[in-house]
Amino acid sequence: MRGPRISYPHAVLHVINRFVDRHPFFQEPKDYKHFLEIYFEVAKSFGMLNYAYCLMPNHFHFVLETPSGEISKFLQRFLTKAAKSLNFRKDRTGHLFQGRSKTLIVQTERYFSTVIAYVLMNPVRAGLSRDVFSYPWSSIREMLRNDTSRLDRGELWEHLFGHRFNEENPLDSIFEARKWLKELDSEMNQKEFDQGHRGGFLANTDFRKKVLEQLERRHRDGVKKGRRKGDRRKILWTWEGMNRAAKEAIEQGGMVDTGWRSKEKAIQQICWFLAHDRACWTWDQIRKKESMFGEPLSKCSVAIYRLKKNRKKMEIVELAENILVNQGLESNNVEE
């Protein structure tokens, strides 16, 4: 299962999602307009700062800043509302979006202009527009308009040009942005984006490490605060030792009200849990030990997920873990 999104207060994010089966659900101008109205309505309620957007026929891009860090709640509310509304307009039911939205944390000091250019040049790369100024469903017009805009141009200009948008004399700022946009090179922008894009980030290595350390997903200075399995010390329990501990725990705790169908199934699932969740075995190591190749990988993970939800089962698991620790049932080598 995927873990929680990486986010924090005032994170700048590039949000991307597609319609299911890459179907072009944006077909008429009113479809685009309605989707944007929903976006800005929900974004306002969450206090989002809006920097750029581009709606393509079968997918969309947004660049925004989340003062609260609640990007998951925002996306859930926005996309749920958008799906219900578009489904009603199209007289359809079921999922509208391909899956969970992709969110990239943007290092504003280095890659902010890269991500803004990347989003605005999407129609050009796709052959839908001859230049960034011609496509009607990107934020270009919001960016360059002489009157009020739904974009947060003060912060946008500050990130792009080092100073805020000139509200008193907007033509100066608009001229500055037009000049920057005319000088954009599609190939160079794609290269810069690809170089900075790694995992859930558009950033350099030092920035990624710093964010992950602050969110306690990496070690720092030898302090073990990581939440990733790869950050944990590998406990050198043998499969035979875990099996014996599981049997002993069942004998001591009993199987009443646990929901396990048989003692053999209970022992098997306790071993899976101890190996994967405590000793940091991979699923492939467990499948190899159990001779389960050919069976779906989800068989183990779903069983462990259900086990964690069952208080009585977890009591037996904890008993087995204590037996392992107290008896020192470890080997000298990690099993492969």
Domain count, the chain: 2
Confirm whether 232 is domain-assigned: no
Pairing of strands 11-18, 49-55: unpaired
**pTM of the shown model:** 0.65
- Whether residue 95 sits in one domain with residue 15: yes
pLDDT band at 107 (very low <50, low <70, confident <90, very high): very high
Question: Quick one: 190 and 253 in the same domain?
Answer: no
Which residue segment(s) compose the domain that 46 sits in?
A: 11-214
pLDDT in tens, 76-91: 999 999 988 888 877 8
Q: Does residue 1 lie within any of the structural domains? A: no
- 335 in any annotated domain: no
pLDDT beyond 80 at 52 = yes
Question: Do residues 47 and 144 both lie within one domain?
Answer: yes
Residue 228 lies in a domain: no
CATH number, residue 293: 1.10.1750
Together in a domain, 40 and 178: yes
Residue 170 has pLDDT above 90, yes or no: yes
Within this chain, do residues 192 and 323 fall inside the same structural domain, yes or no? no
The answer to whether residues 201 and 283 belong to one domain is no
List the alpha helices (DSSP H) in the chain: 29-45, 71-90, 108-120, 122-125, 140-144, 153-161, 170-182, 186-196, 205-214, 239-253, 263-273, 283-289, 298-308, 311-327
Inform me whether the pLDDT recorded for 128 exceeds 70. Answer: yes
Domain at 99, CATH number: 3.30.70.1290
* 168 within a domain of the structure (yes/no): yes
**Last residue of some domain: 180, 214, 248?**
214
The reply to whether 6 falls in a domain is no
Is residue 98 located within the same domain as residue 176? yes
φ and ψ of 222, to 5 deg: 80, 0
